[in-house]
Chains A and B, each alone.
Chain A
Amino acid sequence: EPEVTQTPSHQVTQMGQEVILRCVPISNHLYFYWYRQILGQKVEFLVSFYNNEISEKSEIFDDQFSVERPDGSNFTLKIRSTKLEDSAMYFCASRVAGMNTEAFFGQGTRLTVV
């Protein structure tokens, strides 16, 4: 069964460093998402990406964050100058085009900022 894959599974970084979280969405999917889940809390929308550009972003997704689809298969989330409060699980998700389609989630990357 096709699946969304995320790497790494766990990333530890020092405060102020930049991190890149990687995702490979399912191949025929056209909508891509990043979500964040702070331990024990809700799944928070960060950004959606369609047709090689950001289609929506939340207030959390400020200038510190950026997304890229560099090569047609990978979908990356870059966090510049990480802060302690960026520590969370980051989930990538993708879905096919159309209104009534489910999102498939990757296993997540646990980011720990120390």
Chain B
Amino acid sequence: GQQVMQIPQYQHVQEGEDFTTYCNSSTTLSNIQWYKQRPGGHPVFLIQLVKSGEVKKQKRLTFQFGEAKKNSSLHITATQTTDVGTYFCAGLLGNKLVFGAGTILRVKS
């Protein structure tokens, strides 16, 4: 079936180190969305990428959408303890927003 795959499953970094999570779809996506879920919380929308090759930045976060619109990445520069949580990519396939498995980020201070 249609899937959105995300790696790594888990990343534990020292505060100040960078972090990247990668997302791949088996089919071309209309758009890719990124969500953050804090421990015990619900997914909260971060950003959406629509165009092939698009790059967007939010402070220390950089989001990329691949040229083929099948892959995406989220990069955090100089992680802080407030960055902890699970980062999900989600692709719109028809009316269905399909989530990747998420990457759990832990930051050691």
Q: Which residues of A contact B90 (CB under 8 A)?
A: 103
- Interchain nearest-CB distance for B46 vs A (Å): 9
A44 proximity list for chain B (CB < 8 A): 99
Chain B: interface size category: 20 to 34
Stretch of A11-19, A20-28, A72-80, A104-112 at the chain-chain interface: A104-112
With A105-B42, A105-B43, A107-B42 known to touch, is A42 a contact of B100 (CB < 8 Å)? Answer: yes
Q: Could you mark each residue 40-66 of chain A with 1 if its beta carbon is under 8 Å from any beta carbon of chain B, else 0? A: 011111001010000110010000000
User: Helix, strand, loop or mixed for chain A's interface?
Assistant: strand
Shortest Cβ distance from B104 into A: residue:
A40
Binding site for B on A (CB under 8 A): 31, 33, 35, 41-45, 48, 50, 55-56, 59, 91, 93, 95, 99-100, 102-108
Give me the interface of B with A, judged by CB distance under 8 Å: 1, 30-31, 33, 35, 37, 41-45, 48, 50, 88, 90, 92, 94-102
